[in-house]
A and B are shown apart, each in its own frame.
Chain A
Amino acid sequence: MFQRDAFIQEVTNRLEKDKSIFFLSADFGAPALDILREKFPKNFIHCGISEQAMLDIASGLALEGNKVFVYAMSPFLSLRSIEQAKCGAGLMNLPVCVISVGVGLGYADAGPTHYSTEDFACFRAIVGTSVYTPSDIITTRLIANEMLNEPRFSYIRLDRDALPNISPETTVADYKKGYKIFGNANATKIILISHGKMLHKCLKLFKKEPNRFCCVDIFRSKPFPNDLSKAISSCKGIVVVDEQSPSGNLSSCIFEGFSDQNYFPKIVSKCLPERYVFENGGRDYLLNKFQLSINDIIAASKKII
């Protein structure tokens, strides 16, 4: 199952008893959305291929006390409509949940117009946002339910691919913390911190070498988990792996979050290069080409002495 279908299923289920939910799409679909549209036609609004207007319409609906979800392909929903997100949900602190599908190189077959490799930095910069990047559908459902129970301005970064469930799965207790640790952090361990698709590479590496690595799934990067530094402070160093361009990616977030917590570990950033990607070959090929393979992560970890 895809993350988008899992998220929309949760919204659809809630619509059975809560008609103050509106789901807006800028001509972006999903099998689960077809069901939502059919069952609750008055709660679904097609905004046309108009991401900017969609965010403004969402503001109007939210100002009237509704819980609003806006949904589109990541590059267009994030960067094209970012000022609408700021002036609407941001400035007026409105319960608008922005569901952004296809982060990173998710649309590898489409090319750089469709890549979303700056969205994390951009949306994280808007004052008052909450930013989530789930790595599987279990976490995706937990996020959806949080946004339905406690609606607020949030940016949810979903993967285009159907990612496997992580094991052991994220529990409600993990969820409340905003992160999940795999393994035990100690002075001999390198911590691999990631989210979304790249977390799965880190988990593979952790499972291969559990005595050398520990792994953190930081599915909630903003607000930054307030006890993460305490949980890993005994580690040897940190490699942050993110399918984003270099500026403002997850490693910036980790550094800033830890800095606020007076924790200054050695951090190595593994991310995409400072250039747009025009090459073909598919997502995994491109990730390998741009040194985001498991072997590249191992090599990066060796920088931490």
Chain B
Amino acid sequence: MKKINDLENLSKKYRRDLFEKFLMIKQGHPGSIFSMMDIVVALYHGGFVRFDKKKNQFLDKVLISKGHATAALYPILRDFGVLPMEEWNNWGNKESLLRVFGNISIPGIDITSGSLGHCIGAGAGMAINYKYSNQDKKVFVIISEGELYEGSTWEALLFAKHNKLDNLTIIIDINSLIILGKTSECLNLDPIKDKIEGLGIKTLDVDGHSLNDLISSFESIKKSKDLNCILARTIKGKGSSIMENKKNWHYWNPMNEKEIKKTREELA
């Protein structure tokens, strides 16, 4: 596993890489991607998503239920060599394989997502299959806080808990914003921890931008015998003062030269 400092640098680099892409393609969801960047860096580069070098593929599954942020995985998959560099370079062209929302035709992407509230169920389906067939494989599902509004999320949580899916980990990216504003003002979700724990699910509350905390949390649940949920407290648009905690940066917004320069400096 890389050192924490190296992981932090990778997170910055990926935000920077993605920012340059967004600038070029003039679309994307930087706020949501930057908020979960540290989570996926910890998962992949922390070694929790195991990689088979010989087969050039991951042993474990990562489902990005907040499909608008799937692009957070692209530079990681590129660096592992799962996603060919030419595909990364081609992103933005008409014939590009990569797009804002991921799908299973993209190497390393384990599910087609975009509509919210689907992936805990799908992840539970995968996890129960691995349990029944005695396969040592894990499933990580990253959902947005906003997906807690979807009924199917709770249906699937009940199912996963009942079936003691200890090979399934649910990570909730809590950046406290949805498209129209703060979740606390739009339709309050708090106390999220009490609600999830109320289902009997072991729940950890962590700083979603602390690689140290994230690594410790993933490490602590490695040998768990039950379903686990991690509440990752994050900042929408993390890393860019122009984007941070701004609801409008859910989507890409045009930037002037001064803003571009500032963002580049902050992400450097």
Interface residues of A (CB under 8 A from B): 22, 42, 45, 47-48, 50, 52-64, 66, 83-84, 87-88, 91-92
Contact = CB atoms under 8 A, between A and B. Distances in A.
A141 B121 CA distance: 30
B21 to A, nearest CB: 24
B156 A53 contact: yes
A293 B127 CA distance: 50
B10 interface: no
Nearest to B130: A64
Given A64-B129, A92-B104, A55 B121 contact: yes
Contacts, number: 92
A45 B128 CA distance: 10
Contact of B119 (A42, A56, A92): A56
Given A59-B111, A87-B114, 13 more contacts: A22-B129, A50-B159, A52-B121, A53-B152, A56-B125, A57-B121, A57-B159, A60-B127, A62-B125, A63-B122, A83-B115, A88-B122, A92-B112
B110 A63 contact: yes
Contacts of B191: none
A47 B126 contact: no
A56 B129 contact: no
Interface string B98-129: 00000110000011111101111111111111
Contacts of B132: 42
Nearest to A59: B122
Contacts of A50: 152, 155-156, 158-159
B198 interface: no
B103 A57 contact: no
Contact of B158 (A42, A45, A48): A48
Nearest to A45: B128
A53 B154 CA distance: 9
B115 A87 contact: yes
> Dominant SS at the A interface?
helix
A150 to B, nearest CB: 21
Given A59-B118, A92-B104, A53 B155 contact: yes
A48 B159 contact: yes
Given A57-B159, A88-B118, A52 B151 contact: yes
A39 to B, nearest CB: 15
Contacts of A60: 121-129
Given A83-B115, A84-B118, A63 B152 contact: no
27 contacts: A22-B129, A42-B132, A45-B128, A47-B155, A48-B158, A48-B162, A52-B117, A52-B121, A53-B124, A53-B152, A53-B158, A55-B121, A56-B118, A56-B120, A56-B121, A56-B156, A57-B159, A59-B121, A60-B124, A60-B129, A61-B126, A63-B104, A64-B125, A64-B126, A84-B118, A84-B152, A88-B118
Contacts of A87: 112-115, 118
